Structure 1
């Protein structure tokens, strides 16, 4: 979803991917068979808000 909005994967270490969009960056967990918990999703959204705008993942 973030890549569709112009973010790029910077690196991956295990099951975590570091994503950069403009000047913003965040870490996204990628665990097989599991979704992203709501609190983690809000943190990712908050990290990307300066570059992508409010509620960028909704």
Structure 2
């Protein structure tokens, strides 16, 4: 499973970061540091989905 950020959508609400700072790091400007297709470690799929769903502007997505 992978997670990805939709370019230019993040507004820096950091709700994903609150769910899991390791899976959803922030960059130096306070916006999501998730890349276009970051691998989710085995066993962390549920928390990754929670972080994606927590984004109020749908800046993140679950990838196959």
The reply to whether TM is greater than 0.5 is no
The answer to which structure has the higher strand fraction is: 1
Higher relative contact order (CA 8 A, sep 6+): 2
TM-score by length of 2: 0.33
Computing the radius of gyration over CA atoms, which structure comes out larger, 1 or 2? Answer: 1
